[in-house]
Structure 1
Amino acid sequence: MRAFARQMTERMKAVAAAGAVAAFWLAVWIFAASLVAQPLILPGPGAVALALLRLVCDGGTWAILAGSGARILGGLALAAVCGGVLAGISSRSRAFAHLVAPALSFVKATPVACVVVLLLIWLGSARVSIAAVFLMALPGVYFSLAEGLAQVNKPLEQMFRLHGVRGWRLFCAHTWREVLPFVLSCARAVIGMSWKAGVAAELIGMAVGTVGERIYQAKLLIETADLLAWTVLVVAVSWACERVLVWLLRVSGPVAWRVAVRAHGRGARG
């Protein structure tokens, strides 16, 4: 009971601290807006809240967010699969790792705008966001997984093999759990970056019916409150995606272990 009360007290303190920080920055925003006194340059929180409410109540907003989100998450999923395959091959072939690393390092250092412009020439505006997210996320996924695979406990892996645990069961019981901390660290960095790259690609490419197009229209019409409202929506959706995906990844460790143990138990009985 005391532990529960202590935990509730700590949570209340954390909520109060977060509220105090939010109130401070809200006050700074109000003061800056009143100092500028130009809503077209810096609207106040009230104007942005009204614009945000209008967007939230509009069904078209959610359709646009869903479409952009599907393309961004599709590019991210593709980067995860390709990065995993490349990292797996690199862990077994040092020559392949030396061959791939410079190209991915070059892509990692290339500005998003340059990548988007090239993709527009090659692919057109319809597919530019998926390709941009894929290229921006791939180096982060690859290098994180390659580092994780290099740090796998080899003696423990040999012990699993001696007990007949091989193939996908070895991956679930040992490899994935060893690599998971690197995957979680990568996910926290890559998911937010993917949303930035995807929206930037839509904005530069002027893809119709996307978040980037709406942000460009708000800028063109100098609707600063709408621009900030769209920014808040994108940040909120990106944050929600990161929380959900990180939670799923964190849960996957114990789940993979239980699946491997059950499969090994059935194999031993058979």
Structure 2
Amino acid sequence: MKKSFINKIIATFIFLLIWHFASKSFSSIILPSPFEVVISFINNINDKNFFKHIGVTVYKAFWGIVISFLLAFPIGVLMGIKKEVYDFFHPFVVFIQSMPVIAWVLLALIWFDNNFIPVFVVIIAVIPIIILNIAEGVKRVDHKLLEMAEIYKLSKGKVIKNIYIPSIAGYFESSLKIVFGNTFKVVVMAEVLAHPGMGIGEKMSWARINIETADLLAWSFMVVIITFIIMGVLKLFQKEKN
């Protein structure tokens, strides 16, 4: 654990060193130095609307994930239980997953209000991941355990609690990691194009328009930090569970 942490520190230091020397070969518009990005980051924190912008983006990401799970979980379970249901839904799920996210953003710009677009794009981006993982978890249930449950006439509640949930749990956790790893990238991209008025993507869009590269990178790193924090909390939760 300690060695892994030291390696990460060394890798970060080397990255910053390469970045620092590379920035000397270009103007700050093309590649600002790490110091310039840090200054922009501090200026952003001092902005009275800083946490509001972050809150808006996190709020949209949160509701996108919640709605996705509410829709995907029952579909995934049914797909795992019934082959007919799997065969019916699978082409639609693959179609949604195969379409470029940017295409969904552009369509959403036509269909929806600007504030809902990031939520919609999150749903579209993560729902196939959840459905397929849940379906796979259900399909992997040990059928011998189900047969024994039937012999001993266990209630449906006990079958779900003691057989299905443990089987699904690993796949559910796997989908969570993928979902949280992708959600903020997707929601920010949608905000950049939708211009909802508030949010990290809105600030990044204005930084691009004003050619403020340091500010653009500062907000980009903010997205990385938020993702790292959430993934870290998820890891702690898994350790506590184990």
Determine if the alignment matches structure 1 residue 57 to structure 2 residue 41. Answer: no
Q: 181-190 or 166-175, which moves further after superposition?
A: 166-175
Distance 1:162 1:35 in 2: 74
Determine if the alignment matches structure 1 residue 199 to structure 2 residue 188. Answer: yes
Contiguous gaps of at least 5 residues in structure 1 = 1-10, 255-270
C-alpha displacement of 1:13:
2.1
Q: In structure 1, the residue corresponding to 2:88 is in which secondary structure? A: helix
What does residue range 56-95 of structure 1 map to in structure 2 within 5 Å?
Answer: 56-95=45-84
Q: 113-122 or 222-231, which moves further after superposition?
A: 113-122
Name the counterpart of 1:268.
none
C-alpha displacement of 1:176:
1.7
Alpha carbons of 1:24 and 1:155: their partners in 2 closer, same or farther (altered >3 Å)? same
Whether the aligned pair in 2 keeps the contact of 1:52 and 1:229 (CA below 8 Å) is yes
Residue correspondences, number:
242
The one-character-per-residue Cα deviations of 1:62-103 (angstroms, maximum 9, x if unpaired) are 111111111111111111121111011112322221111111
Structure 2 residue identity aligned to 1:144:
N
Determine if the alignment matches structure 1 residue 166 to structure 2 residue 155. Answer: yes
Of 1, 22, 34, the match for 1:32: 22
Determine if the alignment matches structure 1 residue 116 to structure 2 residue 105. Answer: yes
Q: In structure 2, the residue corresponding to 1:35 is in which secondary structure? A: coil
Whether the aligned pair in 2 keeps the contact of 1:83 and 1:142 (CA below 8 Å) is yes
C-alpha displacement of 1:169:
3.5
Q: In structure 2, the residue corresponding to 1:126 is in which secondary structure? A: coil
Distance 1:196 1:39 in 2: 25
Of 11, 21, 24, the match for 1:21: 11
C-alpha displacement of 1:152:
1.1
| Identity in percent | 21
Alpha carbons of 1:248 and 1:15: their partners in 2 closer, same or farther (altered >3 Å)? closer
Q: 97-106 or 53-62, which moves further after superposition?
A: 53-62
What TM-score does the superposition give when structure 1 sets the normalisation length?
A: 0.83
What TM-score does the superposition give when structure 2 sets the normalisation length?
A: 0.92
Q: Compare CA radii of gyration and give the structure with the larger one.
A: 1
Q: 114-123 or 239-248, which moves further after superposition?
A: 239-248
Over the aligned positions, Cα root-mean-square deviation in angstroms equals 1.9
C-alpha displacement of 1:232:
0.7
